[in-house]
Chains A and B, each alone.
Chain A
Amino acid sequence: MNEERYIAFDNYINKELSGSELISFEEKLKSDSDFKQEFEIYKALETSLVSKFENEEQENALRKTLSDLGSKFIKSENSTKKKGKLISLINYKQLMVAASIALLIGFFLFNNGNPVYSDFSSHNTLELVVRSENNEALVKAQEAFNSRNYKEALEQLTTLTNSNTKDTEIELYKGICFLELNIYVEADVVFDKISGGNSVFVNTATWYKALSMLKQEQFEACKYVLQTIPESAEEYKQAKKLLRKL
């Protein structure tokens, strides 16, 4: 091992070289690629290790914050789902009594619960046929979608996208079908893609993303998505209405 070399590295990093020593060191950095590579590694190691040891406590504090947030946002999602399944049959009768009382109270406090997807999910009808040549799949997709047969519509739209790849409107309606069929991951992927693009469907896709969150009962996420809909958007009024209820 070339001990002198590493001592020089250390001195250089600490700015302890001067005069001819400094000049010859810097010359060597320029001319000797092997020397330079070793120096780069040495320096990167020093930066990385200094940061690691210096920030140990700060890192631990951050980890604590993150794991608290993680259990708040991720685990709680888990536990609420579990709670739903825990109602035993023995309590069923009591539950029915409670439910009817709740229903009664519900009439008086009509607006207090969380809003539901179906209140907001009136879709525009699909009207594709007029704008392109007659196509069997297109007609079928349109009929199926407009009569709320989303499974059939999805199949037809999928055949359409296979042949006619880049039609954003068809993609959007596919997303709506996914959402109606509760295939959330696929739906969200579609909405994310369109809302992140620059087509005329950006706001519509954002709105549907919010509806998807609503249907999945992720109210906080829903709120955030809604807040990204600009005032100029057609969906702004609906978004505001839903925001008020959340």
Chain B
Amino acid sequence: MAQKQHADHIYIEALLKNNSRVLSKIYEKYSYKIVSYVKKNNGNYDDAQDIIQETLVTIYHQAKDKNFVLTCPFDAYFYLLCKRRWLNELKKRGNNRVTILEDDTSITEEQEQQVEETEIFEQQSQLFESKFKELGEKCQELLKTAFKIKSMEKVAEILGVTYGYARKKKSQCMGKLTQLVRNSNEFHQLKAY
């Protein structure tokens, strides 16, 4: 895919490289807007800080796993992600009585699409993670070791089983996980496939 990188892609790079000098620009430039939005809608400084941090960590993972390329200005993309995250958080807290102040920040179709991509990515990761936790303890441990170490020979050694058995068990656990994901309601709501 030949996607044209926007100049603001430096922020994505900075997340990947944990470059605090560049990352501080995100806070300097964009946080005030998000803070004021959160504060206007039943939140405080801590909430705003959490929202900003979780949004950035999500973008980091998306960049890491999917080579996410930012093709629009960071400002509106980031603001919209934070805003929607905060609205979700309010819903979770059961604050249905709260009237949401709508601001009409205009966004382009492209920005909307990028925001959606990130949101779908996050929903998918959350689904995978929650299903992983539904696996039995042995499966969880085996998969965690396998994915961390990668060499199945070493994994077998650590767990004190044969290589063949470790491989077979890994496939079984992954198969179980695949089915858990596939049969979940959340999976059917995801448009990613």
B185 within 8 A of A: no
B175 and A45 contacting across the interface, CB-CB below 8 Å = no
Q: How far is the CA of A78 from the CA of B181 in the complex (A)?
A: 43
**Residues A1-60 near B (CB distance < 8 A):** 1-3, 5-7, 9-10, 37-38, 40-42, 44-55, 58-59
B6-38 vs A, Cβ < 8 Å mask (1 yes, 0 no): 000000000100101001111111011101110
Q: Which residues of B contact A59 (CB under 8 A)?
A: 57, 60-61
Partner of A73, one of B15, B24, B148: B24
Chain B interface: which of A184-192, A200-208, A232-240?
A184-192
Chain B interface: which of A63-71, A140-148, A151-159?
A63-71
B193 within 8 A of A: yes
Q: Which residues of B contact A71 (CB under 8 A)?
A: 49
A69 and B124 contacting across the interface, CB-CB below 8 Å = no
A77 within 8 A of B: yes
Q: How far apart are A175's CB and chain B's nearest CB, in angstroms? A: 13
Q: Which residues of B contact A193 (CB under 8 A)?
A: 104-106
B49 and A3 contacting across the interface, CB-CB below 8 Å = no
Given contacts A185-B40, A189-B104, contact A49 B172 (CB under 8 A): no
B170 within 8 A of A: yes
Q: How far apart are B172's CB and chain A's nearest CB, in angstroms? A: 6
Chain B interface: which of A84-92, A96-104, A113-121, A217-225?
A217-225
Q: How far is the CA of A1 from the CA of B175 in the complex (A)?
A: 8
| Size of interface on A: residues with Cβ below 8 Å to B | 57
Q: Nearest chain-B residue to A184 (Cβ)?
A: B36
Could you say which interface size class chain B belongs to?
Answer: 35 or more
Chain A interface: which of B90-98, B125-133, B155-163?
B125-133
Partner of B18, one of A2, A46, A58, A73: A58
B161-179 vs A, Cβ < 8 Å mask (1 yes, 0 no): 0000001101110111111
B-to-A contact residues, CB < 8 Å? 15, 18, 20, 23-29, 31-33, 35-37, 40, 45, 48-49, 52-53, 56-57, 60-61, 64-65, 73, 75-76, 103-106, 124-125, 128-129, 132, 143-144, 147-148, 150, 167-168, 170-172, 174-179, 181-182, 187, 193
> Could you list 29 A-B pairs, sorted by A, with CB under 8 Å?
A3-B175, A9-B174, A37-B182, A38-B178, A38-B182, A40-B193, A41-B178, A41-B187, A45-B178, A45-B181, A48-B124, A50-B150, A52-B61, A52-B129, A54-B148, A59-B60, A65-B20, A66-B57, A68-B20, A69-B23, A69-B24, A69-B26, A73-B27, A73-B28, A73-B31, A74-B31, A75-B45, A185-B40, A189-B103
